[in-house]
Every structure is written in C-alpha cells, then in structure tokens.
Amino acid sequence: MSRRDERRRKVEGSFEEFRDAVAAALGNASRELRQLVDERARDMFEIMLRGEGVDRAQDDPVLAKAVKKNKALEQQLVQALIDRVAAFREWSEGGPDRLAALVNAVAPGPASWPPEAWLGTPGTADGSEGVPELWRIGTGVVRGAPEPRSFPVAVPLLDHSHLHVSSTPDSRQAADALVENLLLRLVSHFQPGLVHVHVWDVNQLTGSLPGLYPLTRAGLLTVHDPARPQELLDELSDHIRRVHTGVLVEGHQSVRSVGGRRTEPWRVAVLFGNRQVLKEEHQQQLQRVARNGLACGVQLIIVDIPVTVNSPIETVTIHPDQTATCTMTGKHVVVTLDPPFPRTAVPRACAAIADKREERRMRLSTFQDLLPERFWQESSASGVVAPVGYHEGEPVHVALGDTSPHALIGGPSGSGKTNFLYAMLGSLAARYHPDELELYLLDFKEGVSFAQFAPGRKDPTWLPHARLVGVNVNTDREFGVALLKFLADEMRRRADAAKRHEVTKLEQLREEDPDGRWPRIVAVIDEFQYLFGERDGVTAQATQLLEDVARRGRSQGIHLVLSSQDVSGIEGFWGKSAIFEQFTVRIALPKARRVLAEPQNDAAVELPRWHAVVNHESGVRPGNEVARIPDTTSKGTFDALQAELHRRRPPDLAEPILFDGSKVPSLQSLPDFQSLRTGEANPTVLLGQVIDVAGSAAKVRFPRTPGRNIAVIGSLPEDAAGVLGGAALSLARQREPGEAQFSLACLAEDAWPYAEKLYKQLQNAGHSAELFGLEGIRALLDGTAARLTASVTGETGAPLPPHYLVVYAVDAAHTLLENKDPTTRTSGVDSLRAVLKHGPENRTHLLGWWRGVQRLKNSLPPGQYDDIGAWLAFDVQGKELISFGPEQVMSWSPRPHRCLFFDRFEHSRPQVVIPFDTGEES
C-alpha cells in the first residue's frame, strides 16, 4: 500500500470516528430535546387544564387528538377531572341549595318569588318588619362546575346599594327587561305609595318601561324629560336635603334606622343612557346623589351610563349572547336573567297598585291613623319624631332633635292650632314612654284647652307624660317665666351631669349613664305672645330665659314649642335673632303670618282648612310639606288615647302639677303646709302660693330678730284674710296647743266673718286664742307693749311665750289709738310702734292688714319702715311701694287676687303671690 493510500485510509478512519462521535452526540441531543418537548407539552397542558378548565381541553379538537396520542396527557386529564370533582364537592353537595335558601330567607315574597305568586296583588309591607336584603334577577351556574346546578341570583337594593347595568346594543332589551322586573318586584312588595319610580331615558320621552305606565296616574311613576336630566337630579337632591333636615334627626344615619313603619317613601330613579358619559355637571350631581342618596331612601338604577360612584353599587353586565355576569356573584358565574314577566300581567298589576294607592290617598285619615300599632316602643335618645297629619295618604312628620330643636306654630284664631298641638302631643305620647318624654304644657288662652291633660272632675285621667299643666294663666305671665326658669335650671342640671361624664350632649349622657333618667322635655306654650305682652320686668326676664333655653336647650334635650295666633307682633321674639334662629321647625296653619319665610314663602295663604305647612328648614319654601291634620278634639280621639295611656302609666308616676290661674290654692293641701311640724324654734309663716313650677308657698321665717312683722296692704278684706289666715294657721301648726298666744283683732266690719272663722279654726285646733273688736285693741296693744318693755328692761325674769297678734284693718283704729293716756302720756300708736319694734326679738310678731300704703306709713315712725320686714301688697300701684322695696316694685300693676310680696331679709326682687283658701272652720 502506498503511503498515499495509507494516509487516505487514516483520514477516512478519523472521519469515520468523527462521524460516529457526532452521531452519538446528535442522538443524545435529540433524545433530550424530545424529552424536553414532552415535558413542556405536559406543562402547557397542565396550565391549560388548570387555567381554562378541563371542559375546554376536552372541547378543543387539537388537544383532544394530542390526548388521544399521548398517554401522559391522558393521565393528566384524568387527574384534573378527579381534582375538579374533589374541589367542587362541597359546593356541588350543598352550595346551590344553601344559596337558594338564603335568597328565600332574605328576599321573601315579590323580592324573589316567581311572578305567578304575587304579580297583580298590591303589597302590604310597610317596612316595619324589615326590608328584603336581596332582589332576584335570574339564575346562575358556576362556569366549569362538574355538574352545573343552577341557583338564584339576587342583588342588594334599597338602602344598601345602587345598581349599574351595562349592556350592548344586542342585549339592551334584556337590560330593559331586567330593570322592569326589578321595579315590579319593588313596587309590588310594599304598600302602594312606599316606592316612587322616576325614569329618565336619554333617548326617548316615552317608550321605556311601557308596562309600568299605569303607575303614573297614581303619581308612583314619573317620566322625566330626556332633554333635562337636571330636573330629575334637582328633585332627588332636594329630597335628600329635606329628609336630612326633617326625618333624620341627629344620630340617625339613615331613614332605615329611624325604625318602625317606613316614614319616607323610597325614590327609585332609573337613568337609561346610550353608553356615552353625561355632561360634567350632571355627572357630578349624579355622584352626589349616589353618595348621599341611600341613607335617604334614594336608589339609583343606572343603565348604560359610564359613571364611577363613591358608594355601594352592584354591577350587572349583559353580554351580546344575553347571558350576564354581576359583581354579586363574580366572573365565574354565568347569570341567565329572568325572562320578562308576562306582557299582559304587568300593566294589570301596575293598574292594581295605582288603584290601591288612589284608594289610600283618598282615604280620610283619622287621629287613630297617627298612632303606632304598639305604644311606647321608640327611644328619644337622639330626638323625637311623630306623624301629625297626612299628605295624599302618607304621613307627614314633625321632628324635634339636636338639629331641629324648637318649633314655632302660627295661625289665626280658629285655624286649628290647638287641634294641631293635640295631634302632635298625642302622636308623640303614643310613641315614647313617659321615661323617654316629658311634657310641660302652658296655655295662655282664655279657654282651658290644656286642662284635658290634667286630672279633672269630669275626666279623672291624665296624660302620663305631662309633668306640668298650666291653664287660665293669661294674667299670670310670671308663670311663663317660672316655666322657662325651671327649664333653664333643668338645662344646667343636665349640662353639669354631662360635664361630670365628660360629654356634651344628652344622647351621649344617656349612653354614659344608662341607669339615669334623662327624658327629652317638650315644653309647649300656647298663645305665648302674652308672655311678651308688656314692656316690663316679666318680659325682660322671659326674653332672657327664652334666649338661654332656645340656644342651649337643644343639646340637653329640651325643646320648646311656641304657638301663637299672631307671631308677627312679638318684638321680644323677632328682635332677637339669637332666639328665633333656633326655631327651625315652623308650622303654619291657614293664613298664618310670618311663621314661614315671607314674602318668598306664602304657602300658608292658600292653605285649605284643617291643613298645615310643616317646615323643618326655618320656613324657606323648599322645606314646605303640606299636611292634612285630622280632627283630634272630638270625642273618641285624644281623650280615648289619654285614657288608654293613663291605664298603662307606671304605677309610681305622680300626677302632673296643675297650675290653674282661676283656682284659689288650698292651704291644707299644699305640701309646704303639710310638712310643717311643731317644735320649730324659728317658725315658718306661709302667706300664699308663689308662681313657680313646684307650686311652693311664699314664706317668711320668724327668728327672734327685729323687723319680723308682716304687713298686708290692700282694700279687700277677702284678699287680706287669705294671707293672714294662712299665716296664722301655719304658725299654729308649728306650736303645741297652749304653747303660743293668738290675739286676733278685727277693726273693720267687713272683715268680721274672716276674723271669726280664723278664731274658731285656732280654737278648734286647741290653741289659746282671743278675738277683740275696736274696743279691745288699745288694751291689747298697751298691754303687749308693757310686757315687752318689762322684758326688754329685764323686769320680768322668764322669757315671754310666743305671741302672735293678727290685726284686721289696723288703720281703722288710728284715730282711736292716737289718744294719749293721761297718766303715761303715751298713745296707742306709740304702743303699736313699740310692739312692732321690740316684739320680734321677744317672739311677739304682728301680722297686720292696712287698707293703704299711707295708712301703713301712719302706723310707723315717720320715715322709718324697718320694723315691717315683709309685706304683701294687693291693689296698690307699684310706685306707691317704692319706699318699702327695691326698684322692681315700680313695675307692679295690680290684678285681682294677686299680690306683690317682698321680704327685705330674704329677697332681692319681689314675687307675685296668690292668697290661700284657708278652708273650713273645723
């Protein structure tokens, strides 16, 4: 072999080796590649199975072929199917049934049942038993469940969530049907009138939701102009504002939480768009309505309008294939929407609802309709609210709370103010327990319209909430002041308690002090203009107190209701913006002036008889609500309610205090008299009843100090005798028989019956009493003066026993007393002055009646009146009294059976006092 061949063979051998090596390497690589490809295919398949679902894998022909060819993939598919069954087991076993049961429970009746069960029968629910939480829209199946079982799909609406529906041009009809079905469910569930529907459709004036049209005639469906979405949005905004000021008293976050029967109808506004955004301003307003609406019962259903809202909203998206998905169930649930309800049944059902609504509207509501089904269920923690009348069959409410603290009622005589007050008070009293609400009722009218609330001879029942009833007080304006003063004191007491608990408002105080009794107080003053009737101290005091209570009462749960036939002339009221600004609740009866914000708001002018404008916005026009007020004063109305409430009253509840200006207070039944006891070193003298809320006595104490004598000034013996009798009998009650001497002297003929009666009363009580006429007065005074002188100069050892000289018409003896004793050169007047001067220190007190101021002065040392420490003046002009009392006496103008009382030791200002009826002789 040539060397050349040898080389060639080697080269070929090397190539062979190289080829073999390359072939081996390539074989390895391709095996690895095949392996990798297989692995990758399995991974991809797994991802597909898990991501897109096993159904997809089976349905896809390419994948199906691959699975058929590849054992590994087949195994993977089997495993995925097993896994799916395991994963769905819990759901498949009970999920759909549980969901169906849940929907059934929270969406009873028309909220979820098939239409055959209810469509055509108007609803009866009034919200008091709760509101369905969900409303059915169709059925759903879980996409990819091994055995697809359907379940009901429902969405939250009213109070909970708005609804957004989006569709495509192909599925818009389904969207219309969805909305119509939902609206039918809503209007059929509740009493006709509780759901009002508004429709605005950008595309058409009529045509959307034709089946619901019969509702329009009853005002339950309003179709709005496509060109003016503003109109609908404004209406909804107004409504929200009104609900906020009227129905949502402080603390209630939504109409829903006000409790009981739904008082505010829901407004469901459906807006149909065309998938284009609204104008910016409308968009913003819609967002505002969405934000604040739910709490006020405003529900939005927005169809095909792109909008984002910052409040709970559910979305239903309807696809071109007519299936839907919704946020309630998530994207894996395919929703088949309920078919439209039967075409002929829908308008018929709406007509039935409209008829029922009309029937309700035409119904003449009575006082009975104002009352709740069950009495005393409401809490007044955040305020009180009660229906007072009706507007088109629906109740109209008055609310008093922190945001609407006080009410002003106006209307000329006969317009129905008293009737209105009865409606309001009855409706409140039926809802709130006497522990939740107290009433203070004062009537300045000549009649006695509030007397009904207190026990009377004919009707012994009384209103358990009434703590004070004032009638016939038209001349006693002081009683108005007393009431306001009481309220101001109570307000301070509550503020102090709140401070102790480190809170500021009644509602918080009640939370902090759950065992405390903190009712809301409603104080009603009928014909309150009398209170400000004159330019005097009473008006000044009343104005000041009213301002105090009006401004600060709101947070302490004290509410004023002032009513008047003509509020326009009350300077003290209108002149003080700090006062009337607080009276945000205005109630105008027909032809009332100034109660509403005139001249813009003249709603009261046209108001028909027995109606009222109820306005919680200080009388501005948008706040007007017109209500027909039922008759509350004829037999079987308020009286029947009172009898029932009286029967239910807590057993330990005291009767209301009755202040009847026409009645003479009885000494013997006065608690201050009954509590007097013997053994008192410094006895208390009761002179009459002062004008205060507690009905307390006017008192003077008799310590052994100078000046403790009492003068009654006036021309009528009857008045004076009431005071002197009360004084003597109250002293007698504090002395054991025989312990004190009562010397009575009657120097005027017309006073004899009174003096004699008192004499017998004292004797009958076992006291040592004597009665003199003109002939005995000189000796009585001289003798008493002599004893006193002896005691003062220390001639007698033992202290003198208590001695009370009660002298009727002291001045009648003046001439007689002026005569001087020929031996001692002293006169009877001197003796009288000595008794007045030295008596009190020696437990000898003179209680005298003088028939005029000058006559009293004549009995005293010239210019020195200190010995008369306390006086009561009847028919004497204030200016005459100035030498005896402070400046305020100047404003006193006398009136029958009332006197001005001043005790220079105790008082800074005089008080008005009513003399007692001192009872019979026995």
Ligand X SMILES: Nc1ncnc2c1ncn2[C@@H]1O[C@H](COP(=O)(O)OP(=O)(O)OP(=O)(O)O)[C@@H](O)[C@H]1O
Q: What angle do CA 805, 809, 812 make, to 5 degrees?
A: 115
* Between 525 and 667, CB nearer to ligand X: 525
Contact mark string toward ligand X, 135..174, x via CB under 6 A? ----------------------------------------
Which one, of 188, 296, 193, lies nearest residue 242 by Cα? 296
**CA separation for the pair 828, 228 (Å, rounded):** 99
* Between 444 and 772, CB nearer to ligand X: 444
Structure token pair of residue 742: 């009562």
Structure token pair of residue 39: 């692995």
Structure token pair of residue 634: 């004829």
Ligand-binding site membership of 417 (annotated)? yes
Element (H, E) at 660: strand 657-660
* Between 608 and 797, CB nearer to ligand X: 608
| DSSP 8-state class, residue 799 | P
* Between 413 and 893, CB nearer to ligand X: 413
**CA separation for the pair 319, 470 (Å, rounded):** 72
Number of residues forming the site for ligand X (CB under 6 A) = 15
Ligand-binding site membership of 445 (annotated)? no
In the region spanning residues 704 to 723, those forming contacts with ligand X, defined by CB under 6 A, are: none
CB 633 → ligand X: shortest distance, Å? Answer: 4
Given 263, 365, 415, 618, the residue binding ligand X (CB under 6 A): 415
CB 412 → ligand X: shortest distance, Å? Answer: 7
How far is residue 850 from each of residues 304, 463, 710, 809, measured CA to CA in Å? 93, 44, 11, 5
* Between 610 and 752, CB nearer to ligand X: 610
* Between 323 and 415, CB nearer to ligand X: 415
Given 365, 419, 743, 842, the residue binding ligand X (CB under 6 A): 419
CB 396 within 8 A of CB 246: no
CB 746 within 8 A of CB 716: no
How far is residue 377 from each of residues 373, 429, 430, 582, 705, measured CA to CA in Å? 10, 11, 9, 29, 58
**CA separation for the pair 371, 395 (Å, rounded):** 11
In the region spanning residues 562 to 591, those forming contacts with ligand X, defined by CB under 6 A, are: 565
Q: Which stretch binds ligand X (CB under 6 A): 109-117, 330-338, 410-418, 659-667?
A: 410-418
CB 550 → ligand X: shortest distance, Å? Answer: 23
**CA separation for the pair 308, 314 (Å, rounded):** 12
Ligand-binding site membership of 415 (annotated)? yes
* Between 422 and 892, CB nearer to ligand X: 422
* Between 586 and 735, CB nearer to ligand X: 586
Which one, of 507, 551, 483, 285, lies nearest residue 380 by Cα? 507
Ligand-binding site membership of 259 (annotated)? no
* Between 539 and 563, CB nearer to ligand X: 563
**CA separation for the pair 870, 877 (Å, rounded):** 17
Identify whether 108 is preceded by a cis peptide bond (ω within 30 of 0): no
* Between 380 and 472, CB nearer to ligand X: 472
Structure token pair of residue 234: 């404004």
Dihedral class, residue 527 (left if φ above 0, else alpha if ψ from -120 to 50, else beta): left
Which one, of 905, 400, 469, lies nearest residue 655 by Cα? 469
Contacts of 322 (CB under 8 A, 6+ apart): 170, 171, 174, 337
Ligand-binding site membership of 412 (annotated)? yes
* Between 355 and 566, CB nearer to ligand X: 566
CA-based end-to-end distance of the chain: 175
CB 426 → ligand X: shortest distance, Å? Answer: 13
Should residue 416 be labelled a site residue for ligand X when binding is judged by CB under 6 A?
Answer: yes
In the region spanning residues 423 to 462, those forming contacts with ligand X, defined by CB under 6 A, are: 445
Contacts of 681 (CB under 8 A, 6+ apart): none
Ligand-binding site membership of 2 (annotated)? no
Q: Which stretch binds ligand X (CB under 6 A): 7-15, 413-421, 424-432, 687-695?
A: 413-421
CB 362 → ligand X: shortest distance, Å? Answer: 17
CB 470 → ligand X: shortest distance, Å? Answer: 16
Q: Which stretch binds ligand X (CB under 6 A): 176-184, 407-415, 428-436, 783-791?
A: 407-415
In the region spanning residues 719 to 748, those forming contacts with ligand X, defined by CB under 6 A, are: none
* Between 564 and 911, CB nearer to ligand X: 564
In the region spanning residues 671 to 700, those forming contacts with ligand X, defined by CB under 6 A, are: none
Contacts of 434 (CB under 8 A, 6+ apart): 464, 465, 519, 649, 650, 653
What backbone phi and psi angles, to 5 degrees, belong to 898?
-130, 145
Q: Which stretch binds ligand X (CB under 6 A): 408-416, 495-503, 689-697, 730-738?
A: 408-416
Q: Which stretch binds ligand X (CB under 6 A): 141-149, 416-424, 489-497, 738-746?
A: 416-424
CB 526 → ligand X: shortest distance, Å? Answer: 7
CB 246 → ligand X: shortest distance, Å? Answer: 21
CB 646 → ligand X: shortest distance, Å? Answer: 22
β partners of residue 595: none
In the region spanning residues 345 to 404, those forming contacts with ligand X, defined by CB under 6 A, are: none
Residues 463-486 as b/e (b if ≥16 CB within 10 A, e otherwise) read: bbbbbbbbbbbbbbbbbbbbbbbb
* Between 424 and 745, CB nearer to ligand X: 424
CB 390 → ligand X: shortest distance, Å? Answer: 11
CB 631 → ligand X: shortest distance, Å? Answer: 4
Q: Dump the DSSP string for 687-703.
A: EEEESSTT-PEEEEE--
Given 139, 245, 418, 615, the residue binding ligand X (CB under 6 A): 418
Given 413, 793, 823, 922, the residue binding ligand X (CB under 6 A): 413
| Distance, C-alpha 608 to centroid of its chain | 28
Which one, of 490, 515, 522, 481, lies nearest residue 501 by Cα? 515
Which one, of 90, 121, 99, lies nearest residue 187 by Cα? 121
CB 164 within 8 A of CB 302: yes
Residues 626-650 as b/e (b if ≥16 CB within 10 A, e otherwise) read: bbbbbebeeeebbbebbeebbeebe
CB 570 → ligand X: shortest distance, Å? Answer: 15
Ligand-binding site membership of 138 (annotated)? no
* Between 375 and 610, CB nearer to ligand X: 610
Q: Which stretch binds ligand X (CB under 6 A): 304-312, 417-425, 454-462, 913-921?
A: 417-425
Neighbours of 235 (CB within 10 A): 17
* Between 565 and 831, CB nearer to ligand X: 565
CB 600 → ligand X: shortest distance, Å? Answer: 25
Contact mark string toward ligand X, 609..648, x via CB under 6 A? -x------------------xxx-x---------------
Q: Which residues bind ligand X (CB under 6 A)?
A: 411, 413-419, 445, 565, 610, 629-631, 633
Q: Which residues fall in the annotated binding site for ATP?
A: 411-418
Q: Which residues fall in the annotated binding site?
A: 411-418
